């Protein structure tokens, strides 16, 4: 591969670094929000990849190839999902956001062998988060850093490592998911629990002005029999409410962690979700809930939830890391240096 600084796909990013006005690119060929919005339904369904300008976005050819591999099933799915997930983990989401409209038809095709893989990665660019986030202030928040003040034209997402406006990538991915909310909602009733979890994870990033998604989470929870799926539904409801405050949902989630008839995993997820939606001191009964229910075995099991998997750090399961960061924020991070105790 040639020197990235001379690659034409980085033209916009290079111009921005050189002082170009971001507003001059709004709605144009380098605005991934506009490009995603212009993708026609038949283009998505038939996965007509050549109908969109992948080359206008950093690493676009890699994202296009990953979608192609998932669609055709020509190689192990891990190869494709690693590319798309890696772009997001490396803070370069624009091309991954462009892939989202094509991943949804694969994920919702009951006969596609890689549907679970597509569903598992499609919402990655819709969250501008770094792995290891577990605090009340940051968990379930999709912005890069809610405490940082960026220039108004970049909003509070700032820029990606390439120089591309991070908020545009996140907005494009969330808009693509929102546009397909009805078909994604049907996955909450899929026979496969893992698919139901990933469907809730994806739907938590959709805009929900009429509370359709939140209502679906509540409805599904009432009949859900799998403890981890129940936990996923509660975390998803909390994430949706964090993006768009909804006091009735916050109250409902509090009632769930207090409900002793629910599975422990669900109560723990509700407790974490409620903490993220409030800034009140941690109640004693919630601390007691964590003390009794947050066992090592349960914490490792709950790492099957993408929220908890992302919260892991220093060999600490996501659940226990959330409990430590939320209940004891003054404590330092565990030392992950294996030689530290031997010096």
Q: pLDDT per position in the chain (343 positions), as tens?
A: 444 556 667 788 888 888 889 999 999 999 999 999 999 999 998 999 999 999 999 999 999 999 999 999 878 899 999 999 999 999 899 999 999 999 999 999 999 999 999 999 999 999 987 678 899 999 998 775 555 555 556 777 888 888 899 999 999 999 999 999 999 999 999 999 999 999 999 999 999 999 999 999 999 999 999 999 999 999 999 999 998 888 999 999 999 999 999 999 999 999 999 999 999 999 999 999 999 999 999 999 999 999 999 999 878 999 999 999 999 988 777 765 544 444 4
CA 145 to chain centre: 15
H-type alpha helices, the chain: 11-17, 32-37, 41-45, 60-72, 77-89, 94-107, 115-122, 166-179, 181-185, 193-203, 212-223, 227-243, 247-257, 264-277, 284-293, 296-302, 306-311, 318-327
Q: What is the DSSP string of 112-168?
A: -TTHHHHHHHHTGGG----TT--STTTTT--SS-TT----GGGGGG-B-TTS-BHHH
Is the pTM above the cut of 0.75? yes
Would you say 311 and 303 are in contact if contact means Cβ atoms under 8 Å apart?
no
CA 338/CA 315 separation, integer angstroms = 11
């Amino acid at each position: 591969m040639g020197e990235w600084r001379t690659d034409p796909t980085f033209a916009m990013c290079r111009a921005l670094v050189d002082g170009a006005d971001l507003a001059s690119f709004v709605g144009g060929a380098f605005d991934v929000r506009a490009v995603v919005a212009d993708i026609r339904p038949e283009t998505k369904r038939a996965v007509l990849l050549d109908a969109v300008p992948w080359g206008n976005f950093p690493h676009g050819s890699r994202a296009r190839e990953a979608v192609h591999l998932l669609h055709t099933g020509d190689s192990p799915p891990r190869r494709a999902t690693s590319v798309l997930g890696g772009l997001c983990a490396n803070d370069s989401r624009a091309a991954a956001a462009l892939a989202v409209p094509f991943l949804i038809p694969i994920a919702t095709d009951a006969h596609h062998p890689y549907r679970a893989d597509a569903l598992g990665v499609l919402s990655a660019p819709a969250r501008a988060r770094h792995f290891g986030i577990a605090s009340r202030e940051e968990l379930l928040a999709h912005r890069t850093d809610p405490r940082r003040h960026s220039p108004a034209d970049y909003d509070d997402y700032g820029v990606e490592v390439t120089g591309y406006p991070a908020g545009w990538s996140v907005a494009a991915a969330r808009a693509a998911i929102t546009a397909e909310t009805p078909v994604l909602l049907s996955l909450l009733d899929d026979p496969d629990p893992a698919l139901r979890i990933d469907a809730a994870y994806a739907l938590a990033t959709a805009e929900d002005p009429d509370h359709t998604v939140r209502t679906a989470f509540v409805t599904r929870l009432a009949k859900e029999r799998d403890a981890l799926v129940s936990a996923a539904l509660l975390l998803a409801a909390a994430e949706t409410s964090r993006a768009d405050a909804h006091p009735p949902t916050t109250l409902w989630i509090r009632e769930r962690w207090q409900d002793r008839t629910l599975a422990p995993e669900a109560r723990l997820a509700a407790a974490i979700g409620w903490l993220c939606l409030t800034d009140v001191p941690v109640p004693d009964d919630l601390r007691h809930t964590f003390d009794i229910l947050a066992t090592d075995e349960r914490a490792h099991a709950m790492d099957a939830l993408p929220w908890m998997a992302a919260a892991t750090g220093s060999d600490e399961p996501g659940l226990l890391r959330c409990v430590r960061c939320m209940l004891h924020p003054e404590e330092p991070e565990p030392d992950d240096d294996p030689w530290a105790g031997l010096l």
